[in-house]
Amino acid sequence: MAERRSGKRFIAWAALAGIIGGAVFLATAELFALLFARSASPILAVGGFVIDIVPQPFKEFAIATFGEYDKIALLAGLGLAVVIASAIAGILQLVRPPLGIVALVVAGVLSTAAIVTRAGAVPLAFLPPVLGTIAGSFILLLLVRRLRAWRTSVLGERSGTEAADAVPENPAAPKGIDRRRFFALAAIAGASALVVGVASRAVTMAVGSVEAIRGALKLPAARSKVTVPDGAELDIKGLSELFTPNKDFYRVDTALTVPSIDPDAWRLVIDGMVDQRVELSFQDILDMGLDEYAITLTCVSNEVGGELVGNAMWLGVPLRDVLKKAGVKSGADMVLSTSVDGYTASTPLAALTDDNLDAILAVGMNGEPLPLEHGFPVRMVVPGLYGYVSATKWLTELKVTTFADDEAYWTPRGYSAEAPIKFSSRLDTPSIGEAVPAGKIPIAGVAWAQSVGIERVEVRIDEGEWTAVTMSTPINDDTWVQWFMEWDATPGTHYVAVRAVNKNGDLQLEERAPIAPNGSSGWQRSLIRVT
């Protein structure tokens, strides 16, 4: 019985050896990624691969469940999977050598494939995972060899394939020396992996230099400024601000880590169905002259009453002027925009060239250069279209093409190639589940119909009549408006419903529709408890 318990103990130590071997693999890969190819992180490459292949319903579940923390959740899940897989590799190496090493090599091959097939992979991108695999396998081999020696000294086992490695490294050594050797190597390898891995990833992820550049960047003054009319913002507690602070603006994208781009090195290429290929620098964009634009953005993943919508004051240049530099050929109907991380979006060409639509390349947001997580140094902002077909961040290329010839990232994943925003309305206060006192209280929220504008907002209490509410003065047709009404609340539970009418006279869609393929619809109906 004692021998059986002791044998199980060695299985646990083999699992630890596997985890340390996996840690050395990742740490070595991170170190050489820092030296040769900063995008060649195995965990990030595999994470990106998972994002690309996961079915659309799971993507929506992740966004709905974790919101802006969906990528953290993915990385945490991958980390747990790595720990479990490494532990299994360690156990296999102890009981069925060399299966543990084989498992580690397979992991290295898969991560190498994920890295070299990513968009923008550099020639030496294969090196970090290959060297990581070699280092991790070597450490796992040494750890398990010392573990076997320790086990032999305790249990006296020696058989078959283990014979060569199972004997103590020094048969004349005092009892327990093999145990100390195992733990010494485990401690040194584990601590080294932790320090090297964390430090390498921290340096790789460090945006301090680019953040410093961004902080020191002084954008030219706008040639024209947006006039915010009196009455544009209502002073009601719990109501969304007229302009969403940058720190609170929603973020939904496919980048596991925020790209760090030096604006001096940034270039925008315009090619495809054009008269001439054009390459623009960041300074070229600034030299075109900047204007202010107030525009509300909406994510296609926004549920009815959801928070994936925000309004900001943008600083930029019209995309139609940028495209004119290249000269668009007849027959084109789409612009395929590409991010530095390989993400693509398909935007109808007409939305970018219409003189009545303020589709822009943005360099500023709410009075400062774009935040890194919102596309610094340059991103697209197009009113009236969901972000997945228009709001490409970290922009690097505009390809003039056709919907027949090209498709973007989300199209083969179950979403429409073209995605005009379904206008909507939202109740902000009272919030769902909030208990409010009886008496006069404000009911307030926001409504948006980008590029068309909101004509009126109506509210219904329980099964009563629809009542037109008071709206704020709109800045323009591209921004949301705030609305409110004063309600004489009586004790009990009540349903509050809200709907909007746009300036074309269209009533907001009542019928509920899911997020895919082109955005949710329906009237928000919230239960309010009055005490």
What percent of the chain is predicted at pLDDT more than 90? 67
Task: For residues 398 and 286, state if they share a domain.
Answer: yes
The confidence band for 278, taking pLDDT boundaries of 50, 70 and 90, is very high
Domain membership of residue 277 as a residue range: 246-413
Task: For residues 405 and 451, state if they share a domain.
Answer: no
pLDDT at site 174: 55
pLDDT at site 56: 65
Task: For residues 407 and 447, state if they share a domain.
Answer: no
pLDDT at site 454: 98
119 has a pLDDT exceeding 80: no
Tell me the mean pLDDT in the region 497-509.
98
Task: For residues 141 and 38, state if they share a domain.
Answer: yes
Task: For residues 405 and 428, state if they share a domain.
Answer: no
507 has a pLDDT exceeding 90: yes
What is the CATH number for 513? 2.60.40.650
Quote the pTM value. 0.74
Tell me the mean pLDDT in the region 250-276.
92
Q: Which of 369, 386, 413 is the last residue of a domain?
A: 413
Task: For residues 371 and 435, state if they share a domain.
Answer: no
Tell me the mean pLDDT in the region 491-513.
96
Task: Specify the range with the lowest mean pLDDT, choosing from 30-39, 189-198, 404-413.
Answer: 30-39
Question: How many beta carbons lie within 10 A of that of residue 313, not counting itself?
Answer: 20
Task: For residues 500 and 437, state if they share a domain.
Answer: yes
For the ranges 57-71, 253-267, 488-502, the one whose mean pLDDT is highest: 488-502
Which tokens is 141 given? 């081999």
Helix (H) or strand (E) holding 16: helix 2-36
Single-letter amino acid code for the residue at 160: G
Task: For residues 310 and 409, state if they share a domain.
Answer: yes
Helix (H) or strand (E) holding 63: helix 56-66
Q: Which of 389, 413, 437 is the last residue of a domain?
A: 413
Distance (Å, rounded) from C-alpha 372 to C-alpha 260?
Answer: 7
In a domain, 15, yes or no: yes
The confidence band for 88, taking pLDDT boundaries of 50, 70 and 90, is very high
Q: Which whole-number Å values give the CA distances from 273 to 88, 291, 322, 399, in the listed order? A: 53, 28, 14, 8
Task: For residues 133 and 281, state if they share a domain.
Answer: no
376 has a pLDDT exceeding 90: yes
Say which residues have a Cβ less than 8 Å from residue 371's Cβ, sequence separation at least 6. Answer: 246, 365
Q: Which residue has the higher pLDDT, 296 or 119?
A: 296
In a domain, 211, yes or no: no
Distance (Å, rounded) from C-alpha 507 to C-alpha 92?
Answer: 64
Helices 127-155 and 70-95, packing angle to 10 deg: 50
In a domain, 419, yes or no: no
Residue carrying structure tokens 């781009």? 261
68 has a pLDDT exceeding 80: no
CA dihedral sign, ordered 398, 402, 404, 405: negative
The confidence band for 179, taking pLDDT boundaries of 50, 70 and 90, is confident
Single-letter amino acid code for the residue at 86: S
In a domain, 241, yes or no: no
Say if CB 489 and CB 522 are below 8 A apart: no
Distance (Å, rounded) from C-alpha 256 to C-alpha 253?
Answer: 8
In a domain, 43, yes or no: yes
Say if CB 531 and CB 432 are below 8 A apart: no
What percent of the chain is predicted at pLDDT more than 70? 87
Q: Which of 339, 67, 374, 361 is nearest to 245 (CA)?
A: 374
Domains in the chain: how many in total? 3
Q: Which of 64, 51, 125 is nearest to 409 (CA)?
A: 51
Tell me the mean pLDDT in the region 36-62.
69
Say which residues have a Cβ less than 8 Å from residue 210's Cβ, sequence separation at least 6. Answer: 260, 261, 262, 372, 376
Torsions phi, psi for 346 (to 5 deg)? -105, 115
Task: For residues 39 and 134, state if they share a domain.
Answer: yes
314 has a pLDDT exceeding 50: yes
What is the CATH number for 364? 3.90.420.10
In a domain, 237, yes or no: no
Distance (Å, rounded) from C-alpha 299 to C-alpha 308?
Answer: 6
**DSSP code of 420?**
B
Task: For residues 153 and 256, state if they share a domain.
Answer: no
pLDDT at site 511: 95
In a domain, 432, yes or no: yes
pLDDT at site 162: 45
Task: For residues 197 and 313, state if they share a domain.
Answer: no
Q: Which of 413, 446, 471 is the last residue of a domain?
A: 413
The confidence band for 67, taking pLDDT boundaries of 50, 70 and 90, is low
In a domain, 220, yes or no: no
Q: Which of 435, 423, 430, 432 is nearest to 492 (CA)?
A: 435
Tell me the mean pLDDT in the region 150-169.
56
Average pLDDT over all residues of the chain? 88
pLDDT at site 336: 98
